Each structure stands twice: as structure tokens, then as C-alpha cells.
Amino acid sequence: MENPPPPADVDSDTENRKAAPQHDRQLQQAAPDDTEVRTVVAHSLPCTASEDANAPVCQLFHQLPSWNRVLWHISLQLQEVDAPGELSLVRVSHDGVGWQQEQRSSNARVLFHALLTSHRCVTRVDLTDALFEGGTLNEIRELAVKALRENKSLRILNVSTLPDCNIIRADILTVLSRMVHLQELRVDESEDVRLVVDALQSLISASKSLNKLDISELVVDDTDSKRLSASLKGNRSVTRLSVHTSILIARSGSGVANFSGYLRRAPWIASLTVTGSKKDTSHEGLRGIIEPLLMARTISELTLIGFQLDARSTGLLAQLVARSVCLERLDIASCYWIPPRSSHDEDEIDESSLLEGEQERQAVSSYFVSFAIALSLNKSLTFLSLNLGDFHPYAIRVLITALSQVKSLEEVVVNGISLEDVRACGLEVRDGGLSGLVSFQDQYTICPVVLAALEQCPSLTSVIIDTRDIRRDLFHAAICRMPAWRHVTTLWLLLTQDALDNATVNAITMYLSETTALKELWMFGSNEADLRVCNSATNKSRSPLLEALFLSKSVHLLHVGRFVFGEENLRFLAGSVRNSDTLCEFYLLPLQEIDNQSFIRFLVPGIAANYTLLHLHASSSVEEETTEDQFIVQDVLARNRGLVTCAAQFVVYNVRTDHCKAAFDRVHRSPALVQRVRNLASVNETGAVAMIQKSVLGGKEI
């Protein structure tokens, strides 16, 4: 994988120093009484970032808590998440944004202006309407719109929601049309599509830097489809593209979609994602994508979402996988296979024309087999995700045989297997020797069929034990057999009060103390299950069930909720989360809001010593004291995400700066680093662990 491109050229430090008095004037105008904001800006200018990779990071990094204390109230936060020494103004989620909202938005706009006009180390912005709430038209134009207009260092811009004010929205889109320095752009805004397309048309036509464009949420008509396709034809820089199928509407005189003509003449497109809805993802839509890709033969990643796959569509996909020499990743998990229709109308589905029952299953399975056979000819795929629908086991058998012949494959993820077929499909995978390659994505609730499959099918990795509607004997059988589930990576426990007995707790404790495969654990109560009862039954101040949750060193994500906790259990839970060196994500969903507040209050003391936790959610309160505690926690999480970012660059791209080396020394044992290395290097877990270990050995002593 290539190293990330260097930051764009920006103004010099001298020019940044000249900008400081301008910020002082705007501070006086926007928040004359807020000395906190004035001090924050004054202590962080000028930008001291350098193009020298070995130079220290900008002084702004040492002031991040002060900046984020203001930005956090409008759901924004500065984080080091994309590259070492670069800051991203990203959207974060919390529930306390209503408190003093207008004043906070005004203060945040002052900081926003300072960041974008004076700090070249800020390379990404998530633009949301919260930034534009409150304030006068002139203030918003001077601080927010002007900052975007003057900035030349942003590489990544995500536009989610624009303000309601038509004037400001038009101003922002005008600025967007001229941001030719952007390398990545995502636009989710669905209002004023015509204005959005105006901006995109100008930007795409003029840009020589834009590498990644995501407009998959943008539904366009014939006119705008034609305009977008025309602008893309004049662009040579976009190599990763995500679009909505409505872009295929506009057609040339010969009946070929304009966008298809673009794809046919765009061999530089390496990654394509096409998203659509049921009515416009027929065979003709898929044909407009696959046929030009067959001619270009350079696509390496293809994701199709929401397409109907009938016999003809399947034939097109079969041609693609059989003939492609570059295709490495194919994701059609969100597409659905449909039986043949007697009608030739591709635009509307007449339910009466569909085959029924066993006839339908036979038909779908037959043309899926043609796809599987074509798959066996592929020599480049490393990842495949698909929906197996309601196929006959013989079709699955053909698929397994085909997969065994694709030596390049590293991971296959399947979904859509019915409960009745899960055991048969699992056995086909096992007997084909592909248990380590193929995994079932769907979650299956414990029943006799699933219980039997769990013992025989290693590909069945996600299980739900729901005590609300299960025979007592079956529940105890499942609990007792849990230690044998060495392949289960995700487990859901839905527990009633009756299930919280000693036998259940002991079985769960034994399982969690032994498992090395479990990555995600979700445990929820039902009907106001009270964990305090467990405390009294064992004469302990805390629930042994909560103690069990932290026995496994393999669990990286933990959801707990819908219980009555009590203060001692919440105190224990907070301490265990804070002291864990393996837990990367934690989510709390109690029955009472006050439990969230208590949990956060118990969590805060000493949280700064945790370097593993990256994500945590417990509903916040608009009370000032609780909001401050929430901020302290989120500030630590942002720091930890930055450390993982830098450590991953140290491992994958050999970025041996002091900044990255210090981060690697701190988090080289974090499970989150393994996942980040997997994503950056496109390797499996074993490969990522090997790369990290190599870096450890290369550092002699960590």
C-alpha cells in the first residue's frame, strides 16, 4: 500500500504570525467576555508544523484539551486520526449540546476560523450544521465561510449537513466549488441537489488533486446525472469513487448511460461503490456498470449495494470475476438474488410473475452455480463478501469447491443463510477445508439446530442466547457447552432475572476465563433484571456476573445495558473499564439516566492512565458538572486514537519519527493497533501481529 501523500503547500510562518492580530479583532467581536477562547487562540499561534518529518509537531498539539473543551459542545473535536502530525476536526456524538448552544457555536466559529486560516496542520474537517447555529449572517460569513475560502491546506472534507439558511448554504457550496486542493471529499447533503451538483461539477472539472469522491447519498435526475458524468469525463485524478445508481439515468443517443461511457474510458478508477434502491437497480443498471469495467479491466475494488441479481445480472458478475486480473475485493453482500420472471419488464417487479417455492429455489441456485464456477477461474481476489440467500446445499457445495481453487483469497464473509440451512452450509465449509477462510456474518439465536451446528461448524461465529423465550433445559445445555465454542467471536446474552442464578454465572465465568476467540460481548438484561440480587446472593459488594465480563483478554468490544445496576456495581464497572488493557470499545445503556451520570463520575479519576480505550458511550447530561466529566473522558479517547494512528504508521509505513516511536512504545500491545495495521496494510490478523512484532524486535527493547 502506498504511503499517504504529503500535505499540500501552505502559507509560511511569517504570514501566520501576521494573521494573529486579525483573530484578536474577531475575538473581540464574537465573544468579548470569553477570555477562555481568547487565551486558547493566543497560545496556539502561529502554526509550527514543518515539512521535515523529524521536526516536532505543531504547538497546537499541546493545547488540544483547551480547544476541544470549546469545540466539543457542538459535537466537534480535534483528533490525530488520519496521519501523524496532522489534525482532523471530526464529528463526535454526545447528548449535551443544548447547553448554552448559541454561545458555544459562536466561540467554536472563532476557533474554526483560527484553525483553517492559520494552522496548516489541520488537514481534515467534518462540516456540520452545528457550526452555523446562532450568530448573525455577517458573523457566520466572516468566521466560518471566509475560513473555508482562505484555507489551502485541507486534504479531506466531509459535508454531512449544511445550515438551513439558504444564503449561507449557497456561500459554502460556492467555496466548495473552488477547493481544488482537496484530495478526498464526501457529500451527504441531500437538500438543494441542483446547487450541490453545480459545486461538484466545477470542482471535479478543475481539480487535479481529488483522489477520493463519495457522493453515494446524492440522488440526481437526468439533467444532473448528465452534468456529473460530463465533469467526471474531464477528470483524471479521481481513482476511488462512490455514487448512487441514479447517476446512470442520463443516456446518450445510442442508449448507453453517460456514466457507463465514462467508466469505459477511465482505466484509472481502482475502487468503485454503487448504491441504489430496489426500483433502479435492475439488470440494465448493473449492465451499465459491469460491461465498461470488463473493457477497462483495471478495477481492484468493487462494492454493489441493493442490486437485484437475476440470471442475466449473475452472468455479468460471472464474466467480471472470471476475466478480471486486477479485482482484489468484491462485496455484493447487500445484493439479493431473485428468481427469473416471465415478464421482460425490467423496471417493475410483478410479484405474480415470480416462481414459487422449490421451483424458485432451484432456479436461483442454478444461476448462482454459474457464478461460483466462474469464480474458480479468478486469480486475484483476496476478499469476497456475498449473500447466499436461499440456495440449495448443492449450490453451496459448488461455491466451496470454487473458493478452494482461488489461492489468492484471504477472507470470505457470507450472510443470508437460513436457520434451516446453517448446519448443512457450515458442514460444507468445514469438509471443504475452508473453516479458517469463510465466516458467517449473521447472528443465530440458540435453538436445537444452532446448538448442533455450533459443535460442528467453525464458520458459525456469532451467537445469541436469549433467555426470554427458550426452554430451560435448552438454555442450561447451551450455557454448559459454551467452553467448547472456541470459534465464536461475537456473543449476545439477553438475560432475565430468573437466569441470573449461580449455575448461569459460573458457566459464563468459566467460558470467559478460557476463551481466546471472543472479540465482542453484548450483555443485556430483560424485564428490569437487577444485578444487585446477584450481589446479595454471593455476599459480595459487586455482581460476579460483572466480574466475569473482564476475565477474557480477547474481548475488545463490550456492550452492557438494560439492567438495574446499583452504585457498587457501577463503581466496579467503571474501575474495570478504566483499568483494562485490552478493552477498546465500551457502551453502557442502563435503565436509568442517573446510572450513566454515576458511571462517568466514577470513571473519570485515573482515566488518563488508560491508553487502550478508543470509544465509549454513556448517555450524557446537560448538567454542567456531568458535561465536564464527559469531556475529560472524550479527551482521553481522542488522545488514544491519535497514539494508534501514529503507531500504525510506524509499523506499516516505517515512519520512524520520535513522535511515532513514542506512540508505538505506548500502545504496541493494544488490540486496536492490530486492527489499524490490518486496515492500512490489507493483511489478516496474523499478518498484522507479525508486522507489529517485527517492529518490536526492530526497536530492540520496548
Residue 30 has pLDDT above 50, yes or no: no
In a domain, 420, yes or no: no
Nearest by Cα to 103 from 37, 165, 161 = 37
| Residue 566 shares a structural domain with residue 668 | no
| Residue 55 shares a structural domain with residue 157 | yes
| Residue 546 shares a structural domain with residue 693 | no
Q: How many domains does the chain have?
A: 3
| Residue 606 shares a structural domain with residue 661 | no
Domain closes at, from 149, 167, 185: 167
Residue 495 has pLDDT above 50, yes or no: yes
- What is d(CA 323, CA 329) in angstroms, rounded to the nearest whole number? 14
In a domain, 500, yes or no: yes
Residue 128 has pLDDT above 90, yes or no: no
pTM, rounded to two decimals: 0.88
User: 403-461, pLDDT tens digit by residue?
Assistant: 999 999 999 999 999 998 999 999 999 999 999 999 999 999 999 999 999 999 999 99
Residue 19 has pLDDT above 60, yes or no: no
Which residues span the domain enclosing 527? 489-619
Mean pLDDT on 559-574: 96
In this prediction, residue 438 carries a pLDDT of 95
Nearest by Cα to 160 from 172, 145, 175, 178 = 172
Mean pLDDT on 384-410: 90
In a domain, 614, yes or no: yes
Mean pLDDT on 464-479: 92
Q: Is the peptide bond before 46 cis (omega within 30 degrees of 0)?
A: yes
Q: Long-range contact list for 66-71, CB < 8 A, 24+ apart?
A: 66/36, 66/39, 66/40, 67/40, 67/111, 67/115, 68/631, 68/634, 68/635, 68/638, 69/36, 69/631, 70/36, 70/37, 70/40, 70/104, 70/107, 70/108, 70/111, 71/108, 71/111
Residues 6+ apart with CB under 8 A from 374: 317, 318, 319, 321, 322
Angle of helix 671-681 relative to helix 624-652, nearest 10 degrees?
50
In this prediction, residue 190 carries a pLDDT of 75
- What is d(CA 658, CA 54) in angstroms, rounded to the nearest whole number? 7
In a domain, 365, yes or no: no
Cell 405474480 found at:
352
Domain closes at, from 167, 182, 197: 167
In a domain, 448, yes or no: no
The percentage of the chain sitting over the pLDDT mark of 70, rounded to a whole number, equals: 88
Per the CB < 8 A criterion, the answer to whether 211 and 240 are in contact is yes
In this prediction, residue 265 carries a pLDDT of 93
Per the CB < 8 A criterion, the answer to whether 583 and 556 are in contact is yes
In a domain, 135, yes or no: yes
| Residue 606 shares a structural domain with residue 663 | no
| Residue 539 shares a structural domain with residue 685 | no
In this prediction, residue 335 carries a pLDDT of 92
Nearest by Cα to 211 from 251, 238, 245 = 238
In this prediction, residue 352 carries a pLDDT of 46
Mean pLDDT on 577-597: 94
| Residue 597 shares a structural domain with residue 693 | no
| Residue 568 shares a structural domain with residue 603 | yes
**Coil, strand, or helix at residue 15?**
helix
| Residue 613 shares a structural domain with residue 655 | no
Across the chain, mean pLDDT equals 87
* Cell output for 685: 490478523
User: 349-373, pLDDT tens digit by residue?
Assistant: 444 444 455 677 777 888 899 999 9
* Cell output for 682: 490489507
| Residue 542 shares a structural domain with residue 589 | yes
Provide the CATH number for the domain around residue 495: 3.80.10.10
| Residue 100 shares a structural domain with residue 136 | yes
In a domain, 434, yes or no: no
In a domain, 260, yes or no: no
- What is d(CA 667, CA 670) in angstroms, rounded to the nearest whole number? 5
Per the CB < 8 A criterion, the answer to whether 225 and 247 are in contact is yes
| Residue 567 shares a structural domain with residue 605 | yes
